[in-house]
Amino acid sequence: MKTIFRTADGSDTVFDSERACHYHSMNGAYTESQHVFIRNGFDRCAPGKEAIRIFEIGLGTGLNALLTAVLAADHSNLMVTYHAIEAWPIPSSLVEKLNYPDFLGTNVAKKLFYRIHHAPWEKSVSLLPNFSFLKIGADFLGWSPDASYDLLYLDAFAPGDQPELWTHEALQAMRNLLVCGGLLSSYCAKGSFRRTLRACGFDVMKLPGPPGKREMTLATAI
């Protein structure tokens, strides 16, 4: 069963009772996504590019996709391709209750949130003239990619809750998705995670984490 909780910054998260974990930090869902994936992902990868390809592992609530699309709306000279994989989509009846459109408080955010969650699966659609979006309904480890990416948002459940996505096999598959110099951004700061990233061909940086976490991880494909 999945239920909505309000986090410390006023934005919503979803609690999955089967896994006994939240989709976003209770210290602030928006704040975490903005810090980990936008400020230390998109903002580090996009400068100097005319186009950027992003892959998200764990579409979940759609918050990361929404924040990226809102940013793209303000950067019309940058073409953004965004692909997100999700094996267990959140029911639409629950999605409609998430407060992200009202929390962000703009008509653009409201329209984009609706378009993200009503977009068809397995079909690329244009949410904006410069934002192409594709939802992939599959298990990452059983999926066969046909593209490469500049930036990867690793927003799966934590290693203790979804261990299969933090193994050497999984992280090697993520490395293979990225172009040389591509970035992987994650809230996870475990030493074992960072060691496995290095073994898979990443240069790994420790960065200050969002509220409630001392550190986060940014890795560069080498």
What mean pLDDT is predicted for residues 72-82? 96
How much is the pLDDT for 6?
98
Tokens 């609530």 map to which residue?
61
Token pair of 189 as six digits? 């700061």
The domain made up of 28-221 has a fold known as: Rossmann fold (3.40.50)
**Strands 51-57 and 79-85, how do they pair?**
parallel
Tokens 């999945």 map to which residue?
2
What is the full DSSP assignment across 53-89? EEEEE--TTSHHHHHHHHHHHT-TTSEEEEEEE-SSP
138-151 pLDDT, tens digit each: 999 999 998 999 99
Contact 8, 15 (CB under 8 A): no
- Closest by CA to 150, choosing from 46, 48, 63, 29, is 46
Rounded (5°) CA angle 16-90-93: 110
- Which run of H or of E encompasses 122? none
- Dihedral sign of CA atoms 96, 119, 126, 171 in order: positive
How much is the pLDDT for 18?
86
12-53 pLDDT, tens digit each: 999 999 888 999 999 999 999 999 999 999 999 999 999 999
Kindly indicate the confidence band of residue 87, based on its pLDDT and cuts at 50, 70 and 90: very high
What mean pLDDT is predicted for residues 184-210? 98
Distance, CA of 54 to CA of 48 (rounded, Å): 16
